[in-house]
Amino acid sequence: MEKKKSFKERIFGLSDTNLLLIITIVVFFVMYIGAVVIQGGGFLKPQMFFNILNANAALIIASVGMSIVMITGGIDISVGGVAALVSMSCAVYLDKQNGSVGGAVLIALAIGLAYGVIQGFLVAYLGIQPFIVSLAGMFFARGMTTIVNTAPFNVQNEAFVALKETRINVPGMGSLNKKGVYVPAYVEIGVIIAILVVIAFFLILRWTKLGRSFYAVGGNAQSALMLGINVKRTRFLAHLICGLLAGIGGFVYFLHVGSGSASHATGMEMNAIASSIIGGTMLTGGVGNVIGTLFGVLSLATIQNIVSSAGLDQAWWTGITIAAMLCLFLVIQSVVMAAKKRALKNR
Amino acid sequence: MKKKSYANKQILIPLAALAALIIFNLIMDPGFFRITLGTNNAGNPILSGYLITILDYGSELAILAIGMTLVTAASGGQDISVGATIAIAGSVILKVLCGNNTRPDQLQAPIIVAFLVACLVSAVFGAFNGALVAYFKIQPMVATLILFTAGRSIAAWINNNELPIVSDPSFSYFGGLIPGIPIPTPVFIMLICVVVIFLVLKFTNLGLYTQAVGINSSSSRLNGINPTFIKFLSFVILGLCVAVVGLIKVSRLSTINYSVIAKDIEMDAILAVALGGNALSGGKFNMAASVLGAYVIQFLTTTLYKMQVSSDALPAYKAIVVILLVVLSSPVVREGFVKLGKKIKAGSVQKGVA
């Protein structure tokens, strides 16, 4: 007869990925409910939630790429720089050279792909530490952005502005405004792209050979090699995907702000890493989930919203809260994993 | 004997880079090396020229490189929060010197007190990084990412986002000139730091223990070294180095700009360690090579500035240098070189036999 498992045993019996995912989702809901309690009904309006999505679609896309790299045990801190470079290049192409929107998309993809290929090659095939490679990548992108164009400016290109202003109404969601008129909730195009990216990579990570080999390489590269997985190629592909998603994220960011500036997406790499960690991706690799990452971004955005609507609007509070949250989650992960190890040992 | 030849080889890397830069500048414009002795506005003698600028600003970097080398060797990672922590240390110094008044007529506390408080504060922040790395086993670069984000915010918060200005002339000695001595003071501060670290490495086991922990943490523990403490200690030492640089930085301006002070300096400090031929994955280190590496980096920066590269675009060029550097020192490429070298050697030996 099987002994009934205790709650603790059942919790620690989960895989690392699922355990951390559950923690993340719980934290997000606690935080959102906390926001509703502290800030009142504002957070209950659907549009409030969709605004968070609108503002953070680019971050979601970049964070998915970051999570994949982190699952394989690497890191990429160039995503913010790439996003800024993409914004500036597209802005210059659209405004100063009268380019088409399609061309701008191609530019964004090309920049992202170039970053992914070069960084992936350096990391996977030359064995250089990913942090150093992407640190150099970040500085290169930031420097390159000012070389492309120094002064920030708004894009006036008509086709682009039309695309930027496109709003997609969410069926069944909406609220009455002050005049009592029903206003449907809307999302921007970027959100659709972001959700598609999350779903695609959730499926890839879960049910494809490539996805499983990301986990295997991150968990233990040596055993992955012995199982016949091409470790170098897997790492290369992880960085390739991350670079490509950084390019797409950069374009979505550009679509949201509609301008080019060298100071765009400052700290985006930090937010992407923080979101991934909060979403339960472990820095040591082998553990993580893009659904968790999505919730990580939402948690981060919610806390930023609480901070700014609590009147602590000074820029430094955002930095301090994100850092504090990141620190908290790093410590929680470290402690939970140690506790789990101990619990499994004693069984 | 073998060990000595290794050390000699390592210092060749920054020396070769330095030689390349010198030759480049000789070809472009020999005027780069001109040094003139003049007098400044206050009537004190002053040496000026690009080389003096390199010595002056390179000294900050050299002091940071000392701490960064230890952190790199012990933990196998780098501290990317140094720029932000310099902002905190500078902010603390100004807070102590100015009190609540942002433009005091006289100093509210002796400079040495302000400096000691800054040392304490940055040692605490170093300890915070060190604790995350050593006790919670978080990757150094990610652990220091926390302060990298929050540091400048904390610095602004310490002074309530105001910009205190110190008018006392004696405060500017640390980053400028002491009257009567034409050489910039940071050079002397750097010399003091180098002598201190040299003595520490010579008369204590710190160097040996750090290398042992960096090479193999668990086997060093089996040999009776406490790796956790060594890693922790290296971050605290870096914190002290940061306080010294913070003093020089705020002394240069007599005030502070939270978002600009020591911006991107972490990149240069890491680069100095890498250029010194130290493995960024930890283990053996050569302090002299790191210090020399710091001056080479500053040489590169000054050269780029002289070539009319704007300060915003500077990182792009430096990034290319970093990538070249790490590619050349990557295991794969190095192995290729070794193989090539062996082939050439074998070929020449065969020729000799024939």
- Is B150 in contact with A320 (Cβ distance < 8 A)? yes
Cβ(B91)–Cβ(B159) below 8 Å: yes
pLDDT grade for A302, boundaries at 50, 70 and 90: confident
- Shortest distance between the Cα of B10 and any Cα of chain A, in A, equals 19
Does the distance separating the beta carbons of B141 and A139 come in below 8 Å?
no
Strand boundaries in chain A, DSSP class E: 153-154, 167-176, 182-188, 259-260
The residues that bridge with B90 in the sheet, in sequence order, are: none
- Is residue A216's pLDDT more than 60? yes
User: Using one digit for the tens of pLDDT, what is the confidence trace for B178-204?
Assistant: 877 888 889 999 999 999 999 999 999
> Percent of chain B having pLDDT more than 70?
94
Q: What is the pLDDT of residue A239?
A: 95
Instruction: Mean pLDDT check: name the lowest of B116-120, B190-194, B307-311, B326-330.
Output: B326-330
Interface test with A, best of B72, B128, B132, B149 (most A CBs within 10 A): B149
Within an 8 Å CB–CB cutoff, is residue B149 touching chain A? Answer: yes
Task: Report yes or no: B269 and B156 within 8 Å, Cβ to Cβ.
Answer: no
Work out the pLDDT band at A312, boundaries 50, 70, 90: low
d(CA B76, CA A153) in angstroms, rounded, equals 42
Number of A–B residue contacts, CB under 8 Å: 128
- Find the residue in A nearest to B314 (Cα): A143
Mean pLDDT of A61-73: 94
Closest to A19 (Cα-Cα) out of A294, A282, A206: A282
Q: B249 Cβ partners below 8 Å, 6+ apart?
A: B60, B86, B90, B175, B256, B261, B262
Domain ranges of chain B: 13-308, 322-354
CA A122 to chain centroid, in Å, comes to 23
pLDDT (tens digit per residue) in B203-224: 998 889 999 999 988 898 898 8
- Cβ-defined contact of A140 to B157 (cutoff 8 Å): no
- Sequence-distant (≥ 6) Cβ neighbours of residue B46 within 8 angstroms: B37, B38, B39, B40, B177, B182
pLDDT digits (tens, 9 = 90+) for B24-40: 888 888 878 888 877 77
Q: For testing the chain B interface, which of A115, A140, A269, A341 should be mutated: the one with the most B CBs within 10 Å?
A: A140
In this predicted structure, what is the pLDDT of residue A4?
Answer: 59
Give the mean model confidence (pLDDT) for residues A95-123.
91
Q: How far is A340 from chain B (nearest CA, A)?
A: 15
Main-chain dihedrals φ then ψ at residue A171, nearest 5 degrees: -60, 135
User: Which token pair is B207?
Assistant: 């160097």
Average confidence (pLDDT) over B15-20 = 83
Tokens of B291: 């210090």
Q: What is the pLDDT of residues A1-31, one digit of tens each?
A: 455 566 666 666 667 777 778 878 888 888 8
pLDDT tens per residue across span A170-205: 776 767 666 767 777 788 888 999 999 999 999 999
Mean per-residue pLDDT, B92-117: 85
What is the pLDDT, as a whole number, of residue B348?
Answer: 67
Q: Is B332 on the interface with A (CB under 8 A)?
A: yes
pLDDT the model gives residue A108: 94
CATH number of B13-308: 1.10.3470
Say if residue A139's pLDDT is above 80: yes
Q: What is the pLDDT of residue B274?
A: 82
Does A345 have pLDDT greater than 70?
Answer: yes
- The dihedral over CA atoms of A204, A207, A211, A212, expressed in degrees to the nearest 10, equals 170
Count the Cβ atoms, other than its own, within 10 Å of residue B214. 27
pLDDT at residue B271 in the model: 83
pLDDT, position B2: 44
Report the range of poorest mean pLDDT among A93-97, B3-7, B21-25.
B3-7
pLDDT (mean) for A154-163: 85
Can you give the pTM of this predicted structure? 0.81
Is B228 an interface residue toward A (CB < 8 Å)? no
Model confidence at A289, pLDDT cuts 50, 70, 90, reads confident
When the pLDDT of each residue in chain A is averaged and rounded to a whole number, the result is 84
Nearest to A281 by CA among A201, A207, A218: A218
3 state SS of B265: helix
C-alpha of B196 from chain center: 15
The Cβ of residue B279 has, within 10 Å, a number of other Cβ atoms equal to 18
The confidence score (pLDDT) of residue B18 equals 85
What's the average model confidence in pLDDT over A143-153? 87
pLDDT cut 70: percent of chain A above it: 90
Contact A3, A271 (CB under 8 A): no
Tokens of B174: 């640390």
pLDDT digits (tens, 9 = 90+) for A103-114: 999 999 999 999
Q: What pLDDT, on the 0 to 100 scale, is given for residue B1?
A: 39
What's the mean per-residue pLDDT of chain B? Answer: 85
For an interface test with A, the pick among B72, B146, B158, B270 (most A C-beta atoms closer than 10 Å) comes out as B146
Q: CB within 8 A of A167, min separation 6: which ones?
A: A186, A187, A188
Assign A322 to helix, strand or coil.
Answer: helix
Residue B99 has pLDDT above 90, yes or no: no
| Rounded Cα–Cα distance for residues A77 and A145 (Å) | 16
A117 to chain B, any CB pair closer than 8 A? The answer is no
CA dist B132 and A330 (Å) reads: 9
Q: Give dist(CA B262, CA B287) in Å, integer.
A: 22
> What is the average per-residue pLDDT within B37-61?
82
Check if B323 contacts A (Cβ < 8 Å). yes
Interface of B with A in 35-94 (CB under 8 A): 77-78, 80
Specify the pLDDT at position B3. Answer: 47
